[in-house]
């Protein structure tokens, strides 16, 4: 950001602050730009929103309130409108729509919304509200919910795969990112489209930077993975399973001088509709800055990060609050 006084580029500054949200205090990293000539600090909508998301993520996690994308996903699973969902839940339609736009539900409303992710609970709610709908509307929704219940084996298989790939539940440990195999796969496809010779070692570092910089800029990571500091730099937990999970991403063994390993190859293009504009901007910047660098270069760069140095001795998990110490971020 340029100073409104001098037109010069300003320094980005991070500092820990306390935000009072619904009567409770939460620590977050405040982002601003400092003008050394005037001594003034400035923020923009993006940095203010990122701070708010850091705070509300902690609140949602504490009280079991679903995240905005989860609220939308639950409704989409049953293929109904926001108006019908609000009727079934007994929440005003305008209020419910605000929840889908990012407003944090009350604890009671949030837990009720989360409860209907269970189709058996949803069916009970539909039955309770059937007199407020036409017979055809009721029958259509009830049949959809019953079909989901009947297809429970498919749901169980999906949940098994999620638990096999992701090492932690949605929380601070994975940057509060949703646990979505589809989004994870398409992040990798996106990277493979735009970066040269992506060996597994290189993908490890690119995913790390994508997630930590997304958390820095928006308050939420993208892939759902958590990371450890090992000898060759930051790596996603269970990375071997991640890279062998999707048929659209396959491994090709190669040897280059004294280096041998697997190169990742994409067999289809990424579905960019799964990502927000901010997420796409982060991925674009990481690919543009680091996409042509070799695995060795990326390992060397990652070894300069405090996020690696502080946790490498015991191969510890890297906390996402280290996103605000990332050195490569100054180049983005």
Give the C-alpha separation, 114 to 86, whole Å.
13
pLDDT tens by residue, 37-82: 899 999 999 999 999 999 999 999 999 999 999 999 999 999 999 9
SS3 31: strand
Whether the pLDDT of residue 28 is over 90: the answer is yes
Mean pLDDT of 305-329: 95
Q: What global pTM score does this model have? A: 0.94
End-to-end CA distance of the chain: 12
Task: Select from 200, 281, 211 the least CA-distant residue to 238.
Answer: 200
Provide the pairing of β-strand 233-236 with 227-230: antiparallel
pLDDT for position 332:
47
Q: Is 228 within 8 Å of 304 (Cβ atoms)?
A: no
251 secondary structure, DSSP code: E
With residue 301 as reference, give the H or E element that holds it. helix 295-302
Mean pLDDT of 181-190: 98
More confidently predicted of 4 and 220: 220
pLDDT tens by residue, 57-67: 999 999 999 99
Domains in the chain: boundaries = 11-63, 68-150, 172-331
pLDDT for position 256:
79
Whether the pLDDT of residue 257 is over 80: the answer is no
Q: Is 219 within 8 Å of 175 (Cβ atoms)?
A: no
Provide the pairing of β-strand 233-236 with 41-42: unpaired
Counting Cα atoms < 13 Å in the Cβ hemisphere of 194 gives 18
Give the C-alpha separation, 318 to 159, whole Å.
25
pLDDT tens by residue, 210-219: 999 999 999 9
């Amino acid at each position: 950001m340029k100073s409104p006084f001098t037109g010069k580029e300003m320094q980005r500054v991070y500092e820990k602050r306390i935000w009072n949200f619904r009567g409770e205090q939460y620590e977050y990293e405040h982002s601003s730009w400092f003008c050394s000539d005037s001594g003034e600090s400035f923020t923009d909508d993006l940095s203010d929103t990122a701070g708010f998301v850091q705070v509300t993520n902690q609140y949602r996690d504490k009280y079991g309130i679903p995240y905005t994308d989860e609220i939308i996903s639950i409704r989409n699973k049953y293929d109904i409108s926001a108006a019908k969902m609000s009727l079934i839940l007994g929440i005003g339609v305008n209020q419910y729509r605000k929840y889908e736009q990012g407003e944090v539900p009350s604890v009671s409303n949030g837990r009720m919304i989360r409860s209907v992710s269970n189709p058996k609970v949803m069916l009970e709610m539909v039955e309770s509200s059937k007199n407020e709908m036409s017979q055809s509307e009721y029958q259509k929704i009830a049949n959809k919910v019953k079909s989901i219940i009947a297809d429970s084996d498919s749901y169980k298989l999906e949940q098994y795969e999620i638990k096999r790939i992701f090492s932690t539940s949605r929380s601070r440990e994975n940057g509060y990112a949703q646990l979505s195999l589809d989004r994870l796969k398409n992040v990798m496809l996106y990277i493979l489209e735009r970066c040269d010779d992506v060996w597994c070692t290189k993908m490890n570092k690119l995913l790390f930077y994508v997630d930590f910089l997304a958390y820095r800029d928006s308050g939420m990571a993208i892939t759902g993975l958590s990371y450890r500091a090992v000898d060759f730099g930051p790596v996603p937990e269970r990375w071997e399973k991640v890279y062998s999970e999707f048929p659209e991403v396959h491994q090709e063994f190669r040897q280059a001088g004294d280096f041998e390993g697997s190169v990742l190859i994409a067999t289809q293009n990424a579905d960019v509709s799964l990502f927000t504009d901010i997420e796409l901007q982060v991925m674009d910047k990481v690919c543009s800055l680091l996409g042509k660098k070799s695995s060795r270069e990326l390992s060397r760069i990652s070894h300069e990060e405090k996020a690696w140095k502080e946790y490498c001795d015991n191969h510890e998990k890297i906390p996402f609050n280290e996103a605000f110490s990332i050195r490569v971020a100054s180049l983005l």
